[in-house]
């Protein structure tokens, strides 16, 4: 297939290259001309000088994948395309967009006969080699039309997650291949939003567990109950046969092997929005989400040396018990 591609950053550039490796042709544009020049070194990727040039190089019905930061950059790209595309063309948003925006954009584009597909994309910088997990929202006929693209980007069953269910017929679902049509516009990004909320919780669990292991030799413990652990080796042994094995654990093992004391990090943890949206969805649905909410708030905590709340806690302890702050 031929695909237009807007956004050649850490994920977008790799995705474009993975598509051309599978035999598709890509016409790519990015605000950064150097990114376009770098991408066109790959056979099968043609560069575009502007959005107008990108649209002109594509055959109708066109399909254009947007892989830029959520919010204003995505909104600007879709607005630019809306005035240049024709009925039957498709706009695909593969970034981390809030599903409310997907629903609104799909309605706006539908008035012009332009289709809208949202694709929650997971795989990070490793996706070029491992493939990308794709969670898709859109009308069934359009998703079907784009399936060759999704199939090429996804890992495929040969790189599935462990033992497949022997009772699942091979043709029952595309899920074991790593891509899934989840529902109408917005459904793909809704599933990706929850995926990222769960990711926060998993990451926090690993972080806390390894912190306990690291402090197992604390002088405050009895001498015969102190242990000095090789955290990289523990992460590695858990990767083999353990029920807590995962790709995140694989990455933890890699990070600890490269930098055992994690001296290259300060511990300030960012969030790109999906954790907040997940908590908001839980509130809207009256669903308790204790772990996911705590994991999100812990990231907020990491960005401060000490919070006012912690200062008040110390002040209260001093007031009622005369407790001095530890130094």
- 3-class state of residue 273 by DSSP: coil
How many helical (H) and strand (E) elements, i.e. helices and strands, does the chain have?
13, 8
pLDDT in tens, 98-121: 999 999 999 999 999 999 999 999
Between CA 119 and CA 92 the distance in angstroms is: 7
- Its pTM stands at 0.90
Counting residues of the chain whose pLDDT is more than 70, the rounded percentage is 96
pLDDT at 305: 83
> What is the CB neighbour count within 10 angstroms for residue 226?
13
Q: Strand 115-122 to strand 90-93: parallel, antiparallel, or no bridges (unpaired)?
A: parallel
CA-closest candidate to residue 65, choices 86, 94, 97: 94
- High-pLDDT (> 90) share of the chain, %: 81
Catalytically annotated residues? 192, 199
Per-residue pLDDT of 30-81, as tens digits, reads 999 999 999 999 999 999 999 999 999 999 999 999 999 989 999 999 999 9
Q: Is 295 exposed, middle or buried (0-12, 13-18, 19+ CB in 10 A)?
A: buried
């Amino acid at each position: 297939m031929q695909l237009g591609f807007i956004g050649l950053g850490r994920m977008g550039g790799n995705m474009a290259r993975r598509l051309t490796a599978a035999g598709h042709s890509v016409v790519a544009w990015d605000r950064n001309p150097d990114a376009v020049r770098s991408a066109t070194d790959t056979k099968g990727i043609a560069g575009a000088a502007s959005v107008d040039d990108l649209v002109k190089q594509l055959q109708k019905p066109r399909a254009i994948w947007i892989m830029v930061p959520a919010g204003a950059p995505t909104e600007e790209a879709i607005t630019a395309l809306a005035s240049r595309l024709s009925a039957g063309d498709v706009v695909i948003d593969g970034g981390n967009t809030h599903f409310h925006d997907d629903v609104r954009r799909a309605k706006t584009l539908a008035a012009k006969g332009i289709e809208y597909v949202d694709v929650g994309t997971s795989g990070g910088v490793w996706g070029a080699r491992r493939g990308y997990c794709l969670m898709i929202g859109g009308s069934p006929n359009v998703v079907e039309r784009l399936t060759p693209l999704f199939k090429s980007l996804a890992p495929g069953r040969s790189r599935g997650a462990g033992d497949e269910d022997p009772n699942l017929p091979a043709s029952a679902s595309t899920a074991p291949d790593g891509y899934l049509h989840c529902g109408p516009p917005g459904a793909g990004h809704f599933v990706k939003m929850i995926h990222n909320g769960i990711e926060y919780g998993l990451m926090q669990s690993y972080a806390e567990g390894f912190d306990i292991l690291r402090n197992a030799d604390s002088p405050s413990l009895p001498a015969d109950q102190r242990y000095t652990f090789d955290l990289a080796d523990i992460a590695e042994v858990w990767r083999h046969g353990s029920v807590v094995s995962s790709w995140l654990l694989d990455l933890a093992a890699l990070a600890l092997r490269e930098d055992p004391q994690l001296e290259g990090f300060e511990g300030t943890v960012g969030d790109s929005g999906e954790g907040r949206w997940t908590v908001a969805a839980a509130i809207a649905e009256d669903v308790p989400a204790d772990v996911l909410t705590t994991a999100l708030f812990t990231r907020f905590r990491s960005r401060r040396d000490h919070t006012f709340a912690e200062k008040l806690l110390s002040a209260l302890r001093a007031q009622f018990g005369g407790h001095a702050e530890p130094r």
